[in-house]
Chains A and B, each alone.
Chain A
Amino acid sequence: MHPAYSVIFFTTASGAGYGLLALLAVFGAAGVLAPHTGFGVVAIGCAMALIGAGLAASTFHLGRPERALNAFSQWRSSWLAREGVAAVVAFAPALVFAAGWICLNDVSGVFAWAAAATAFMTLATVYCTGMIYASLRPIRQWHNALTMPTYVTLGLMTGALLLAPLSAAFGLYRPTFAILALVLVVAGWLMKRAYWRHIDATPSASSLGTATGLSAFGAVRMLEAPHTEENFIMREMGFQVARKHARKLRLLATLCLFVAPFVLMALILALGAAAALPFGVLAVVLAAVGVATERWLFFAEATHLSMIYYGRAV
């Protein structure tokens, strides 16, 4: 599948933003993070900026971005519409929670309820993002049980990596944040490893034989393509530039997204609050490279059943 930069940026940036917002809401309502105006402005602002930039970028790959509002209408059947609705609905409790935190320094009562709703709606939005891909039956690398949990886990994980240095910058760092980041990094790592093993080990149920119905006559191969130039289907579904580098890119993603942040978070835990800002920032930078590579691979390694007709392996 063609990896559109706008979609890679949208899913990674909004995933991290929603993860950070969910963690802020949970830690705020639980009293782990004292409501602090400066920190609230920067941390909630950072989460909202990531979400907003991601949502804006998601409209760039549309043929008719001016009609984007149409995309909210079919939530009964479409995960893409559900994602849009969830993203908009999430803003309502998030703004109440942010107002309580920043303006009133209050996270109790109605603001605690708003925090709970914020955490729920942000995770629901990332869940919908994952389900957009997991629901596509023609793409076996997406249509499996690991796709959606990986999206949610990586969203929370990258949010937790952001939380450590942000809290440290305002003297609000707690070891809990590094421990949580470590747990999520390990969970993300295990999930992504299981995902890669799954897509490598699971063959497609379809072949040129089932696609043409000609298997009764023996092996089927394409003699002649229907057109001499690449059409939309081949450009969109037949992307294979990165696939030959998949091994190296998986290693790069693993090192930047999981190994380096794990080591840095462990160092923060060992060295204490003073290390949280520099090592935390480094972990965020490396994880950004890692998650972009991971998301690029998620598209580039995905094969589409329609390519069978062009004689490609899927």
Chain B
Amino acid sequence: MSDFVVLSLVPMGIGAFAAVACALPGNFLILRRQALIGDAISHVVLPGIVAAFLVTGTVAALPMLAGAAGAAVVAVLLIEAIRRLGRIEPGAAMGVVFTAMFAGGVLLLERSDTSSVHLDVEHALYGNLESLIWLDATGWSSLLDSEALVGLPPELLRTAVACGAMILFVALLWRPLKISTFDEGYARSLGVRTVPLGLALVVAAAVAAVAAFDAVGSILVIAMFICPPATARLMTNRLERQVLLSAVIAAVAALAGYVFAGYGPLWLGRADAVSAAGMIATISGLMLGVACVAAPHRRRAGEPAAG
């Protein structure tokens, strides 16, 4: 059982915090028909992080956040500029900007010396959840041992803080987010500053993406922005419940995915393990699939009312 604490407890916690942090802003992105923005952000984060590393020489949390948030803002401006100057539809403008920025980030990463830190291309895609082990732990009692706690991987605190920040963001700005997501014109007539609010949502998503990114990689970040909120939307017709449910679904997917990745092949008689990030994303996709077929509220507006 001490193996579990050393090897699995921390990655599971990081996975769950990261998943919830991404799922919360994802709810609003999806309802605003901006799910692609989550996708864009998780790509754009890479050049931001690399640039921040090149400038500061560290992978500390704050420079990374600043770099990624800056990159997100640059991306939003570029998307707007391309859309307006080139008269290209927003989806295409986004696609051009985030793939180009991601590719630029990959090139930048290849050409810069990051051997001293945990930053490479593979890492950017899959993360390194499995390697975030707690070497100082000897068992459950280590949770109360201040010396062992110091040895916790910093990613745990980082994702936990991000998760808390997202909860705070959604709770504090709940009403304006809800009003402007439902009816932006009306929100503006009430005096809600919808443009800064929309930007704040994108920046919040970028913060979640950065915090999650280096632990779980961009594949999982994309999945977590979209799958849990979309699944939750099919389970309920109340925004309040949808957001809560999305957090639960994200956490369940993270925990179950990690366990299946680590032990699933073992149960099937294989000795190896599969990528935890990949398995978590796959599980959340499967949950969405099940919800599409079986959830109570999959009826779209416009179809006849149930009664």
The judgment on whether A and B are partners is: no
